[in-house]
Structure 1
Amino acid sequence: MYDILVNTINFENWPRAARYGTQLASLLQASVTGAYVYPSPLYATPSFSSPELIEAVLETCRTLEAGALAAERPFVSWASGMGIEHAAWVVGQGNLAAALVQIACWHDLLVLERNPEHAWASPSDLAELILAVGLPCIVVPPQPVQAVSLSHVAVAWNGSSEAIRAVHAALPVLQRAHEVLLLRGAPKETFQEVTWKPPFDIDAYLKRHGIRARSQDLLTNEHGVGEALLEQADRFHADLLVMGAYGRSRFSEWALGGATRHVLWNARLPVLFRH
């Protein structure tokens, strides 16, 4: 993780995602980019608007743009004060997901926040972003994270491709952790044409990368996995939970619930999701 992208929902003060992502970049000796995206005035203007209303909307967008662009120096200076050698600030106009998909191409990790005060930062919108950007995403909870630490990291493990990708994406974090806990759920049922014999050995993989993890079984049924993950992560005093996202189809995940949805809606700690 050399380049961390942080989505900021405002630029007048640095929100939780910006603070967490910048502190994480400092811990990992990574670069950080703050990204502020605001909607196009075309979407903010009602149909059949008067010329006066259209001009008022355009002026509001011009003011917003000017303020966002002026935030570059304060952001870079603030990040530099936290030990970040390379910090950048970008401003985009348009659809948030489309903008982040583009800028994600030259980053390794995206930091978002779940914020009930902003409609577009709801869990459903965050889920769409996680699916769209193609990057590992850390979602910061509404509760303040007092100090960013990677001392205790919990990993949700069920042997799925999503879980494997999540562990691979989180390797730099896991290698810095003092303790890693594998929370083992029931192995995922596979319907693929290829069956590996023996199956993927997560313990051997982690040891090969210098990580020694202890394991704990999740004794729960499928519908209680999300709740059990958060409960055990809390008991472990985890600083971060790592998990694969959307192991089933999108339709069944949202129609039936699922561990991903429960954790995304209810987590009180930062969670690294990888689809």
Structure 2
Amino acid sequence: MYDILVNSLNYEEWPRGVQYGTQLAVLMDASVTGAYVYPSPLYATPSFSTPELIEAVLETARTLEASALAAERPFVSWASSMGIEHAAWVVGQGILSDALVQIACWHDLLVLERDPLRTWASPSDLAALILAVGLPCIVVPPQPVKAVALTRVAIAWNGSPEAIRAVHSALPLLQRANEVLLLRGAPKEAFQEVSWKPPFDIDAYLQRHGIRARSQDLLTNEHTAGEALLEQADRFHADLLVMGAYGRTRFSEWALGGATRHVLWHARLPVLFRH
């Protein structure tokens, strides 16, 4: 992970997600890009407006853009003081999820802040971005994260393609951990209509990459899996939880698996999701 993208919900101060992503970049010796996105003034303009009202809306957008662009120097200076060698600041206008999907194309990891009161109205809104962005995404909880560390990392494992991709994406983070806990849930068929002999062995895969994980069976059902994952991660004192984000499109809406939805909206620790 060499290029970390952090979505900033503010340009006057650096919120939790920005602070976590920047500290993680320091830990990983990575670059960091702060991205602030504001909506197009077209969305704020009523259908029937006077020329004066339209001009007022446009002027407000111009002022906001200028203020956001002016935050580049403070952000780069702050990141540099943290130990970041390469930092950048970008400002986008448009729909937040669309903008982040575009800029994510030239990054390795996206850090998001779960902000249910302002930005994300529901788990589905945040999940739609995670499922569409094509990157591993770390979601930072509303609660303060005491320190950015990778001492203990937990993995939610069920053998699904999403879980495999999540582990693969998280390898640089897992390799820095002192302890890794593999929370084994009910297995899912990884690849339908294809059988592999021997089947994929997660323990051998991790060991091949220098990671020795201890396993713990997660005795739960589909409806309580998310709650059980968070409970065991908390008992393990995990600094990070890694899990696959299971979802599918249905009539252009995102339908999440129950465990993904619960963890996404209730986790009190940072979670790396990968679809």
Q: Under a length normalisation based on structure 2, what TM-score does the superposition of the two structures give?
A: 0.96
* SS state at 1:84 partner: coil
For residues 5-25 of structure 1, what are the alpha-carbon distances to aligned partners after superposition, in whole Å with 9 as ceiling and x for unaligned? 000011010011100000000
- Corresponding residue for residue 213 of structure 1: 213
Gap runs ≥5 in structure 1: none
Distance apart, 1:226 and its partner CA: 0.4
Deviations 1:179-238 (A, max 9, x none): 000000011045711022222100000011000000000001111110000000000000
2:23 aligns to what SS in structure 1?
Answer: helix
In the alignment, the residues of structure 1 paired with residue 254 and residue 184 of structure 2 have an alpha-carbon distance, to the nearest angstrom, of 23
User: Is the 8 Å Cα contact of residues 150 and 239 (structure 2) preserved in structure 1?
Assistant: yes
**Is the CA contact (8 Å cut-off) linking 1:114 and 1:121 kept in structure 2?**
no
Cα 1:16/1:178, change in 2 over 3 Å: same
Contact 2:111 2:139 in 1 (8 A): yes
The more displaced of 13-22 and 44-53 is 44-53
Query: Is the partner of 1:154 in helix, strand or coil?
Result: strand
| More deviation, 51-60/261-270 | 51-60
Judge conservation of contact 2:128–2:254 (CA < 8 Å) in 1.
no
Structure 2 gaps, min length 5: none
- Structure 1 residue 251: Cα displacement: 4.6
* Greater percentage in helix: 1
Shift of 1:115: 0.7
- The normalised TM-score by structure 1 is 0.96
For 1:74, the equivalent position in structure 2 comes to 74
Change (3 A) 1:120 1:49: farther
Which segments of structure 1 move beyond 6 Å, counting only runs of 4 or more? 252-256
Q: Deviations over 1:74-93 (max 9, x none)?
A: 00000001100000000011
Paired residues in the alignment total 274
For structure 1, which segment, 68-77 or 97-106, has the greater mean C-alpha deviation from structure 2 after superposition?
97-106
2:92 aligns with: 92
Deviates more, 1:70-79 or 1:94-103: 94-103
1:134 aligns with 2:137: no
What percent identity do the matched residue pairs reach?
85
Indicate yes or no: 2:248 matched with 1:249.
Answer: yes
Kept in 1: contact 2:37–2:93 (CA 8 A): yes
Identify the residue that residue 237 of structure 1 maps to in structure 2: 237
* 1:1-275 equivalence runs, <5 A: 1-120=1-120, 122-189=122-189, 192-246=192-246, 249-251=248-250, 258-275=258-275
Say if 1:114 and 1:123, in contact at 8 Å, map to a contact too. no
Read off the aligned partner of 1:75 and give its amino acid letter.
Answer: F
Secondary structure of the residue aligned to 2:268 is: coil
Quick check: 1:254–1:261 contact (8 Å CA) kept in 2?
A: no
CA contact (8 A) 1:113 1:121 kept: no
Deviates more, 1:249-258 or 1:205-214: 249-258
Let me know the Cα RMSD of the aligned residues: 1.7
Contact 2:182–2:214 (CA under 8 A) maintained in structure 1: yes
